[in-house]
Amino acid sequence: MTTIKLDPGAALLLDALHGAGHAAYAVGGCVRDSLLGLAPHDWDLCTSARPEQVMALFGEEKCIPTGLQHGTVTVKQGGRLYETTTFRTEGAYSDGRHPDAVCFVPDVREDLARRDFTINAMAYSAEEGLIDPFGGRDDLAAHLVRAVGEPERRFEEDALRILRLYRFAARFGFAIDPATGAAARALGPHLDCVSAERIQEELLKLLAAPRPGSYLEPAVLAVVLPELEPEKQPERFAELCRTIDRIEPTAENVPTRLAALLWPLGEAGARKALRKLKCSNALTDEVTALEREAGGGAGSFLLGHESGHSIARPIACGNRVPPQRTVLGETPGTPNTTLTVQAKRLLGRYELPTIKRLTALCSARHPEQTGAFAALRAEAEQLTAENACCRVSQLAVNGRDLMAAGVRPGPGLRQVLNALLEAVITGQTPNEKDALLAAAAQFSAS
């Protein structure tokens, strides 16, 4: 008999339910992850006990009636929360997302039959072992995601399952059952009944997978993000997917991968798409900053500066870089100095996490220049650790000091502060009060 080590809190609740004469099991993702040797994030339980019986057994002080109409009570145990749901079948899904009604049933197998994929349709108890009526364990062994029963019916019931299909497959690196994949592609248009917030949630989870590129199904993305035209421009979309897979799969890099996906839309188009997906202002600003700085538009600080200007002007990144320049705009003979200046300029505009994402994005788009972008990132990290002066607020003088030294207030004061910062960044003047006041006097006199 297959044995799973139950979470202590889940085991206590299951024992209590069994002791009261009810059937009860751990169910769904916790069983799947345990069989894969992973530590489950949550332990969900299912039981033959009705919601009112669960609440009576554990007491109102430990129970949260999170979804009584659907049979769900959340039980507090040992500082954790456990969703405990009565075995149920479901009626029609008129809105393509939620069942119109549920019917409580006595058999866990009837409950498992309503679930989305076989790998999520398993239950476990210490007494009975693994309950697996649809071959979920075999599909785990085969690294396969397959719908329970008829895939068309599963997706018609809840269109969000289409995105969940690709998210689960990408998370584990599994193949998709051909019939299930065909149904998902055919029924992709049904995603128009899913809220933007839920689409966004699934898309971000998909982008957090180790290598999501091959799981970004064009027929589905054509519904979720039609602006990308993934089916009309397959080669461009394929390159986007390869770029995404080159970006390290960390939680911090999800905005980076989203920026890579939205690359063809540019800053304005990406902002519009993100708003349509109801992304947070913070995520929208982060992604559009990456689009702007790595996209070669005005304000891109990645690739060095034009010579011949009193205040250096960054040149654009990407294909617009003049061929005689390297990707970081190094000046032959003084690469480290140039690299330091560039890193300081970036730190003057963005915090270090954004710079890390920006260099990761550019490195993914230009893998032949990965070393140069890694050097820029390392320099920014070192300067941050040293608390190097990269912003006006970090200068050893402020506006009051300059006015006390005779600089007139007004726009000219800001110009002098900016000129002082430029002198410090480029190493012409140390960030020391006396040196800065002397330089300010020269700027004011000129």
Q: What is the CATH number of the domain that holds 426?
A: 1.10.246
Give the model confidence (pLDDT) of 142-157 as tens digits.
999 999 999 999 999 9
Helix (H, G, I), strand (E, B) or coil at 162: helix
How far, in Å, CA of 347 to CA of 389, rounded?
A: 9
How far, in Å, CA of 117 to CA of 139, rounded?
A: 10
**Do residues 354 and 422 both lie within one domain?**
no
Which structural domain range is residue 102 located in? Answer: 1-142
Predicted TM-score (pTM) of the model is 0.86
**Do residues 33 and 125 both lie within one domain?**
yes
**Do residues 348 and 434 both lie within one domain?**
no
How far, in Å, CA of 155 to CA of 194, rounded?
A: 12
Bridge partners, residue 80, by sequence: 77
For residue 380, which of 424, 342, 334 has the smallest C-alpha distance?
342
Percentage of the chain with pLDDT > 70? Answer: 88
**Do residues 69 and 134 both lie within one domain?**
yes
How far, in Å, CA of 318 to CA of 208, rounded?
A: 25
Last residue of a domain, one of 142, 167, 198: 142
pLDDT of residue 296: 54
**Do residues 3 and 27 both lie within one domain?**
yes
Q: Which residues contact 276 (CB under 8 A, 6 or more apart)?
A: 196
pLDDT of residue 95: 62
Evaluate whether residue 198 is within a structural domain.
no
Number of domains in the chain: 3
Q: What are the Cα distances from residue 114, in Å, to 69, 92, 148, 177? A: 17, 12, 8, 18
Last residue of a domain, one of 142, 160, 192: 142
Q: How far is CA 206 from the centre of its chain?
A: 8
Question: Which amino acid is present at 49?
Answer: A
Evaluate whether residue 418 is within a structural domain.
yes
Evaluate whether residue 55 is within a structural domain.
yes
User: Two tokens at 234?
Assistant: 């397959």
Last residue of a domain, one of 89, 118, 142: 142
Bridge partners, residue 175, by sequence: 144
**Do residues 440 and 381 both lie within one domain?**
no
**Do residues 27 and 121 both lie within one domain?**
yes
Evaluate whether residue 41 is within a structural domain.
yes
Angle between helix 160-172 and helix 196-207 axes, rounded to 10 deg: 10
Evaluate whether residue 254 is within a structural domain.
no
Q: Which residues of the chain have pLDDT under 50?
A: 297-301, 303-335
**Do residues 39 and 83 both lie within one domain?**
yes
CATH number of the domain bearing residue 10 = 3.30.460.10
**Do residues 440 and 342 both lie within one domain?**
no
Give the E-state strand segments of 91-143 in sequence order.
Answer: 102-104, 123-125, 129-131
Evaluate whether residue 32 is within a structural domain.
yes
**Do residues 8 and 28 both lie within one domain?**
yes
Please, what sign has the CA dihedral across residues 167, 168, 173, 177?
Answer: negative
For residue 7, which of 42, 35, 36 has the smallest C-alpha distance?
42
Bridge partners, residue 417, by sequence: none
**Do residues 367 and 416 both lie within one domain?**
no
Evaluate whether residue 188 is within a structural domain.
no
Evaluate whether residue 54 is within a structural domain.
yes
**Do residues 370 and 414 both lie within one domain?**
no
pLDDT of residue 327: 35
